Each structure stands twice: as C-alpha cells, then as structure tokens.
Amino acid sequence: MDNQLTIDKDWWPAPAKLNLFLHIVGRYENGYHQLQSLFQMLDCGDSLAFDLLDSSNIVMETPLKGVPDEDNLIIKAAKLLAKHCNLTSGVAISLKKHLPMGGGIGGGSSNAATTLVALNHLWRCNLSVKTLANLGLQLGADVPIFIHGLTAFAGGVGEEITPAPQKEQWFLVANPGVHISTADVFRDPELPRNTPIMEWSDYTFEETRNDCQQFVEDRYPEVAKLLQWLLHYAPSRMTGTGACVFATFKSRMEAEKIQALMPNSWSSFVSKGVNISPLQEKLKLVNATSDMN
C-alpha cells in the first residue's frame, strides 16, 4: 500500500530545520516571547500529498496516531486557507512522517507551511508569500519561516525574517527519544529571558547559544547525555526547545562516520544544510510546469 501511495501521488516536501542558535531576549505583554534565532533549512523532512475532492471535506487520509484531525496543524492550515479565500473546496491529505514529534526540528510547523503553500497553488488562491506567512503565524511562530523557505535570521516571535545564506555544512541530527512540549518550556518561570539583543552582523556560532538548552538538560537527563556524547566529536547544540540535538561537520562522510559510532538507543539522520528549502524548489518546479502547459 505504501509503495502504491508513493507511486501514485505528487509529494510535497515539508523540510526539517535547525535553530543554529536561540536567544530569548524578552517577553511581550501578551505573553509571547521575543526571540532571536538562525533557522537553518535542511534537505530532508516529511512529505505530504493533496488529493482534491468534489466535496468540501478536509480530511487526513493518513491520520497521525494520537492526534485527532481537529488538533492536527495540517488540517487547521487547510481550513484556515479555505476560510480566508472563501472556498468550499475539499482535500484528502496524505502524510509520510519521518521527523519526530516534539523534536524541535519543525515537523508540525513545516507540515502546516507545506499545506498552505501547496494548497495556495492547487486551489489557485494566488496569495502572496507575505499573506501566507501572516496566515501561518496564526498557527505557530515557526510556520512563516517554512513558508519563506530560506535559511534566515528570525526575530520577534519568529515572524521578522532576514535571509542569511550560510556556507554548506552537514549535520548529524540525533533524537534521544524523549518528547518535550514547547509550550511547557516557554511557560516555565525559570527559563532565562534576558539575553541582550544581538546585531545579525555580529553572528558567529561560537558566540551564541540556545537559551533553552541548559534548562532542558537539567530536566531531561537523556538530552544532556546525548549532548555530552556528541561534543566529543564536533560542535554540538540542542535545536529549538529540544529534544533533538545536532553536530556540525564539513562533509557527509565525517557525519556518517560519527553516526556509525552512536549507541543504538538514539535515533539519528544525516542531512545537508541548504539555503533554499526543498519546498521552495518544489514550488518553482510546479510553477514552471504550469507555465509550460
């Protein structure tokens, strides 16, 4: 069945991201946190396919275990777009899930962004990237960065985006097997929230950090254990609010060499950092095909 699904459907990428750093520089009156981060796009992630329906139903063809459709960001994104554009269009959505949930590498947010971008094309909504990003912000702070699809600095709650191309690196991304709630991390009064605001031009990996990392390590020993292991081999850091951590390498070969040494209790993958996300590359391809037709 899975092979048949792969053959017959047009899959849209929902790429992973890494926060190369994450500073919490304050808090707004509405409770949202003011952040600074560098979002690094990766060349791998989940995949989604969209089968348009004659009815107005918006459904998951491959439901996520433990996640009711009404709570799924994919369904929420599709319904939000349909409402914004006053559409009665329906769609059945399939998901090939590769990214861990609660891993801090953007799975849910990336899925929502891909849904907005793909259905904007398939439903012929013709909304601008800016409008889609504003819609995406209603679903989550990280959604706009995936809609823009560029490796970029982000400020505010994540919506102030400045493209920041990085030199090509390879990343070993590892998951210690624990689920961490982003909401719980940001809700905790002990989380540091006073890092000085940085000029983007001053960025270096060495002079930045993840303000959530020590907080998470203190509460999730398996995250601390994994980070300590990786730091023996390469510069390493937690991404987002965790639980995934990453190590940086100059080549795939170097990353895979360390991956082969990793204990079996941790899952991992090797991925290349890209400056334009696979979603944007897919959109260029389908637009070019549409123009030819």
Q: What are phi and psi of 129, to 5 degrees?
A: -60, -40
Rounded to 5°, angle at Cα 280 from 156 and 9:
125
Which long-range contacts does 81-86 make (Cβ < 8 Å, 24+ apart)? 81/115, 81/116, 81/119, 81/120, 81/123, 81/125, 81/127, 81/135, 82/58, 82/119, 82/123, 84/127, 84/135, 85/123, 85/125, 85/127
Whether 227 and 242 have beta carbons less than 8 Å apart is answered as no
Whether 278 and 286 have beta carbons less than 8 Å apart is answered as no
Q: Which of 48, 76, 193 is nearest to 143 (CA)?
A: 76
Nearest-angstrom CA–CA distance, 238 and 78:
31
Query: Please, what's the b/e burial string for 77-97 (b: 16 or more CB within 10 A of its CB; e: otherwise)?
Result: bbebbbebbeeebbbbbbbbb
User: Annotated active-site positions, please?
Assistant: 17, 142
DSSP state of 196: P
